[in-house]
């Protein structure tokens, strides 16, 4: 996936209808990198999501490592939400990930008001997991 978070924000602003935005979110999910079958397990599953969501983090080197994320879901719209979160967080230093206001982005895109409560809770669970992995990377630095 080569969408940046800014291009996603810009595309959302261009699309007036929520039906078009939902289609766009689904297209983002279709563009996700293939997810390894071996990581579709309990260890990588994000709890709190109604749909199944899996997340793998790969930590770089250093005291503030960049963290790359891979993710997937068994639901089309949720897979697109995974893509948005990966565009926001993946490849960034752990300290930036911890400080990123993902909930503010959700509000800016209007996701809070247009997602079911279950999907919004699942999205928050994914954000919590990503930030936890980043915090652990900072805590475990030597």
CATH code of the domain in which 52 resides: 3.90.1010.10
Catalytic residue numbers? 49
What confidence score (pLDDT) does residue 2 get? 53
| Residue (of 118, 123, 114, 116) closest to 17 by Cα position | 114
What confidence score (pLDDT) does residue 141 get? 59
Q: Number of folded domains in the chain?
A: 1
- Residue 122 to residue 48: CA distance in whole angstroms: 5
Q: Is 91 left (phi over 0), alpha (psi -120 to 50) or beta?
A: left
What confidence score (pLDDT) does residue 117 get? 83
Please list the ranges in the chain whose pLDDT falls under 70.
1-2, 141-142
What confidence score (pLDDT) does residue 93 get? 96
CB burial string 6-37: b at 16+ within 10 A, e below:
eebbebbeeeeeeeebbebbbebbeebeebee
The backbone torsions φ and ψ at residue 35, rounded to the nearest 5 degrees and listed phi first, read -100, 135
Find the domain containing 100 and state its range.
5-139
Residue with tokens 């893509």: 83
First to last CA, the chain: 32
Which residue spans within the chain are E strands per DSSP? 53-59, 66-73, 92-93
């Amino acid at each position: 996936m080569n969408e940046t978070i800014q291009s996603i924000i810009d595309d959302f602003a261009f699309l007036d209808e929520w039906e078009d935005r939902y289609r766009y979110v689904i297209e983002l999910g279709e563009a996700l990198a293939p997810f390894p079958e071996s990581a579709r397990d309990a260890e990588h599953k994000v709890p709190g999501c109604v749909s199944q969501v899996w997340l793998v983090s790969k930590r770089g080197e250093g005291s503030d490592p960049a963290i790359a994320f891979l993710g997937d879901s068994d639901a089309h719209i949720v897979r697109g939400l995974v893509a948005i979160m990966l565009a926001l967080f993946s490849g960034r230093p752990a300290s930036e990930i911890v400080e990123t206001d993902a909930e503010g982005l959700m509000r800016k895109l209007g996701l809070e008001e247009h997602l079911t409560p279950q999907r919004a809770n699942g999205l928050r669970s994914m954000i919590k997991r990503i930030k936890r992995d980043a915090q652990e990377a900072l805590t475990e630095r030597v």
